[in-house]
């Protein structure tokens, strides 16, 4: 799935400024608060919270910020948030899934629709692009954790479904309901993962040229800039030549 790892690399290459970093911390904290609210405040007894804390740590969120987010859930914060998924099309018909967490459904829907429209995309009905993705668990490790064969064997033993290894790292995929078990088994074998999360994995991709890719990045950046938007997934495919020019 070239689209996924390449997108992660673009984000990394662009570098996160302080404002973007603060926004990311805020989104990760919101997920922690809601996860703790919905289950046990102890990550060991709450798989969703465990994953949220792990994702926060992999993005260098300080421990006191994580602890504060968990405490907020006990103080009644996070009560009003609901999770909503929006689906639409970006430049050249690329599929876009937007996951949001909001206390005002109307505001978020209006903002997401407007962002799509301003950036050459259009918001569709729920299900309009979802069929082009599978809900999966993803565990990632740096390339130097082990060779591809070792990671593949560890993944098979852990009950994973697929592995993609390249110079960008090792990406291990499993059924969404198995993520907690698979990631725990992998960590026993390979050590702490870089990232463990639920994703939308494209089953079909759309090839983009440089101009379309630039437009897509503009759309995704604008969507991610919205405080209510937690994450954005697309099914783009682009050649190495195009990626090098971004």
For residue 80, the model assigns a pLDDT of: 82
Taking the CB of residue 21, how many other CB atoms lie within 10 A of it? Answer: 14
For residue 22, the model assigns a pLDDT of: 81
pTM confidence score: 0.86
CB 37 within 8 A of CB 73: yes
CB 186 within 8 A of CB 193: yes
For residue 245, the model assigns a pLDDT of: 84
Q: What is the mean pLDDT of each run of 10 residues along the chain (246 residues)?
A: 50 56 87 89 88 88 92 79 94 93 94 96 93 94 94 96 91 94 94 89 91 92 92 90 83
For residue 246, the model assigns a pLDDT of: 77
Tens digit of each residue's pLDDT (9 = 90 or more) over 115-145: 999 999 999 998 999 999 999 999 999 999 9
Residues facing residue 236 across a β-bridge: 206
On average, the pLDDT of the chain sits at 88
């Amino acid at each position: 799935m070239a689209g996924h790892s390449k997108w992660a690399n673009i984000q990394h290459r662009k570098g996160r400024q302080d404002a973007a970093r603060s926004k990311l911390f805020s989104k990760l904290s919101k997920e922690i608060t809601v996860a703790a609210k919905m289950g046990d405040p102890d990550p060991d007894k709450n798989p969703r919270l465990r994953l949220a804390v792990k994702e926060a740590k992999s993005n260098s969120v300080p421990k006191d910020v994580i602890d504060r987010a968990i405490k907020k859930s006990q103080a009644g914060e996070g009560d009003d948030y609901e999770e909503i998924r929006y689906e639409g099309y970006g430049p050249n018909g690329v599929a876009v899934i937007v996951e949001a967490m909001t206390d005002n459904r109307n505001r978020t829907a209006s903002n997401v629709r407007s962002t799509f429209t301003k950036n050459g995309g259009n918001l569709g009905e729920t299900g309009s692009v979802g069929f082009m993705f599978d809900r999966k668990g993803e565990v990632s490790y740096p390339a130097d954790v082990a060779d591809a064969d070792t990671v593949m064997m560890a993944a098979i033993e852990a009950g994973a479904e697929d592995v993609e290894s390249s110079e960008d790292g090792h990406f291990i995929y499993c059924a969404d309901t198995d993520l907690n078990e698979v990631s725990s088994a992998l960590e026993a074998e390979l050590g702490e993962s870089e990232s463990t999360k639920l994703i939308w994995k494209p089953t079909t991709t759309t090839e983009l040229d440089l101009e379309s890719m630039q437009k897509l990045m503009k759309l995704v950046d604008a969507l991610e800039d919205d405080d209510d938007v937690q994450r954005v997934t697309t099914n783009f495919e682009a050649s190495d030549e195009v990626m090098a020019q971004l």
